[in-house]
């Protein structure tokens, strides 16, 4: 087995890299794939929180490279899904604690046992980014329909294109607000795709459910009724190679529409 | 709590904004500003450099053709993954061989006689072009103004 190594990156902070990582990883695992997530944000780790695994971490990636433990010992299994593992970042060290070469070796080692290795990249374009990208052959660039996020995504795309190892990169547009797009207050999905001229792999609507799911340490893909959860599930399917149409976000997402949807689902089940 | 207030504010504000007629909406402004800034990011080419390039291109090309210098456009355009430098030159007429030779001779004279370079170049170039090149070389502030209008121009595209 030789797993795919996908780095999830964005340039700008706070656009939803870690959330994306947690959700795509969980969705892939739910689809029966063996998945390991690597948090490379040394000193600012958060992926463990989003997965609700913060109390289970014994060893970190730094312990692995400094040979205080075996790689397999450092992998933390997810609570719900045995297909899913996390290799946590060290919280007390900085970006220099792991080198590009070391990360590359870890990815190569993990490729033998897992279908997917998702690398959570820190914000910025410095060494942390270089490290995270080192072992990857694919990338997902997360951005939002905001100017600063798009500009930073463009920088990241430029850097990714310069890397021979990265064979493909795709764009994930996060925190899309259909109402604002409708009123011409926000750039549309088409605008961003055209400006960055990158292939789209997912459109994730802004969803307050993300906040509660983060608070609970339970990724939103586990909630089948959440729109953002469905959107992330679709991203995972596209990664696997399924041809899934993008969600129609234009539809009314008001309370009334939700009630309607609920009832139509009930009727659907009875039939 | 803060989110609720800012959300409410933007809703109220948005309501009033919708009632009045706005020329350019926030989305278009964002798209246009981004286009300009990304061109500069991607190419490392500042508006000043672009303007300098424009000036030099005019100088070079006017040896061969007579053109409408005001209407000359130099812009970046994106075609898929490829960035292209688009130069649009409204040609009034092509110069004949004698004129081109004359221009070349005068150019050579300029090179030979460095001490009176300024005077020679004034003779060598036609009046319009001379005005233009003087603006470029002697008044950096003017060049800056021009580059500003150029940025605006590409924004409106």
d(CA B79, CA B86): 11
Range picked from A138-147, B82-91, B137-146 for highest mean pLDDT: A138-147
**B72 and B98 part of one domain:** yes
Cα–Cα distance for residue pair A61/A139, rounded to 1 Å: 21
One domain for residues B75 and B145 = yes
User: Given this model, what pLDDT does residue A226 score?
Assistant: 94
Nearest CA to A107 out of A96, A98, A119 is that of: A119
Q: B52 and B23, same structural domain?
A: no
Q: Tens digits of per-residue pLDDT, A216-255?
A: 999 999 998 999 999 999 999 999 999 999 988 775 556 6
Are residues B65 and B127 part of one domain?
Answer: yes
* Residues in contact with A42: Cβ distance below 8 Å, sequence separation at least 6, in sequence order: A61, A62, A89, A90, A93, A94, A95, A97, A98, A122, A128
Report chain A residues whose CB lies below 8 A from the CB of B31: 187, 191, 195
Taking CB atoms and an 8 Å limit, are A188 and B27 in contact across chains?
yes
Please state, in angstroms and as integers, the Cα–Cα distance from residue B146 to each residue in A143, A148, B52, B67, following that order.
34, 27, 10, 19
- Do B36 and B108 fall into the same domain? no
- The closest alpha carbon to A15, from A176, A193, A131, A157, belongs to A176
Residue B120 has pLDDT above 80, yes or no: no
Same domain? For B82 and B121 the reply is yes
Please give, rounded to a whole number of angstroms, the shortest distance from the CA of A188 to a CA of chain B.
8
- B121 and B128 in contact (C-beta within 8 Å)? no
As a residue count, chain B comes to 157
Contact in structure between B90 and B68 (CB atoms under 8 Å): yes
Q: At the topology level of CATH, where does A4-270 sit?
A: Rossmann fold (3.40.50)
User: How many structural domains does chain B have?
Assistant: 2
**Same domain as B19, residue B93:** no
Cβ neighbours of residue A270 closer than 8 Å, sequence gap 6 or more: none
**A103 has a pLDDT exceeding 80:** yes
Alpha carbon A19 to its chain centroid, in Å, reads 6
How many angstroms separate the CA atoms of A50 and A54, rounded?
Answer: 9
Tell me the C-alpha distance between A125 and A33, whole Å.
30
Domain containing residue B93? 46-156
What's the pLDDT tens digit per position in A53-96? 999 999 999 999 999 999 999 999 999 999 999 999 999 888 88
Is A158 in Cβ contact with B34 (below 8 Å)? Answer: no
Closest chain A residue by Cα to residue B78: A195
Q: Could you state, in order of their start, the residue ranges of all structural domains in chain A?
A: 4-270
* pLDDT (average), residues B110-134: 48
Q: Are A199 and B40 in contact (CB under 8 A)?
A: no
Mean pLDDT of A4-22: 96
- Check whether residue B5 and residue B32 sit in a common domain: yes
Residue A58's alpha-carbon distances to A22, A35, A53, A119, A143, in angstroms, are: 19, 19, 11, 19, 32
Which residue, among A157, A63, A64, has the nearest Cα to A107 in the 3D structure? Answer: A64
Examine the domain organization and report whether B77 and B146 are in the same domain.
yes
Suggest the residue from B1, B38, B40, B44 to mutate for an interface test with chain A (most A CBs closer than 10 A).
Answer: B38
Give the distance from residue B150's alpha carbon to the nearest chain A alpha carbon, in angstroms: 20
Tell me whether residues A150 and B35 touch, CB distance under 8 A: no
Confidence band, pLDDT 50/70/90 cuts, at residue B146: very low
The yes/no answer to whether this complex scores an ipTM above 0.85 is: no
| Distance set, CA B102 to CA B96, B108, B120, B131 (Å) | 10, 10, 13, 20
Could you give the residue ranges of the DSSP H alpha helices within chain A?
A: 17-30, 47-51, 61-65, 71-74, 100-111, 127-134, 147-161, 178-182, 189-196, 209-216, 227-240, 255-270
Q: What is the DSSP letter of A222?
A: G
* B61: region left, alpha or beta (phi > 0 left; psi from -120 to 50 alpha): alpha
Token output for A50: 């989003």
Whether residue B103 sits in one domain with residue B27: no
């Amino acid at each position: 087995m030789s797993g795919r190594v996908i780095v999830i990156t964005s340039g700008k902070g706070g656009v939803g890299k870690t959330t994306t990582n947690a959700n795509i990883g969980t969705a892939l695992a739910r689809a029966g794939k063996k998945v390991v997530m690597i948090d490379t944000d040394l000193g600012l780790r958060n992926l463990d929180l989003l997965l609700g695994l913060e109390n289970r971490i014994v060893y970190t990636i730094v312990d692995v490279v400094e040979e205080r433990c075996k790689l397999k010992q450092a992998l933390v299994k997810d609570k719900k899904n045995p297909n899913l593992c996390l290799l946590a970042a060290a919280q007390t060290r900085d970006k220099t604690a792991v080198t590009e070469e070391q990360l590359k070796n870890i990815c190569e080692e993990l490729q033998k046992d897992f279908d997917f290795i998702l690398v959570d990249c820190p914000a910025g374009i410095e060494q942390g980014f270089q490290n995270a990208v080192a072992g990857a052959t694919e990338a997902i660039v997360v951005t939002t329909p905001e100017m600063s996020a798009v500009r930073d995504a463009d920088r990241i795309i430029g850097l990714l294109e310069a890397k021979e190892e990265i064979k493909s990169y795709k764009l994930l547009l996060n925190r899309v607000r259909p109402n604002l797009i409708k009123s011409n207050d926000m750039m549309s999905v088409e605008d961003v795709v055209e400006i960055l001229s990158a292939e789209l792999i997912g459109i994730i609507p802004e969803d307050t459910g993300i906040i509660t799911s983060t608070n609970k340490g339970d990724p939103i893909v586990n909630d089948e009724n959440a729109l953002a959860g469905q959107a992330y599930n679709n991203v995972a399917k596209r990664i696997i190679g399924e041809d899934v149409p993008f969600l129609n976000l234009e539809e009314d997402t008001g309370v009334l529409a939700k009630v309607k949807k609920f009832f139509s689902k009930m009727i659907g089940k009875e039939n | 709590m803060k989110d609720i207030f800012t959300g409410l504010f933007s809703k109220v504000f948005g309501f009033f904004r919708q009632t009045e007629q706005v020329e350019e909406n926030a989305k278009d402004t964002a798209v246009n500003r981004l286009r300009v800034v990304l061109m500069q990011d991607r190419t490392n080419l500042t508006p000043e450099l672009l303007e300098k390039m424009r000036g030099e291109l005019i100088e070079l090309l006017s040896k061969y053709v007579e053109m409408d210098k005001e209407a000359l456009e130099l812009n970046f355009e994106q075609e898929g993954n490829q960035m292209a430098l688009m130069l649009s030159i409204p040609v009034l007429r092509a110069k004949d061989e004698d004129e081109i030779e004359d221009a070349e001779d005068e150019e050579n004279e300029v090179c030979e006689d460095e001490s009176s370079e300024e005077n020679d170049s004034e003779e060598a170039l036609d009046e319009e072009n001379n005005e233009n090149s003087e603006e470029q070389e002697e008044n950096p502030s003017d060049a800056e103004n021009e580059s500003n209008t150029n940025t605006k121009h590409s924004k409106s595209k």
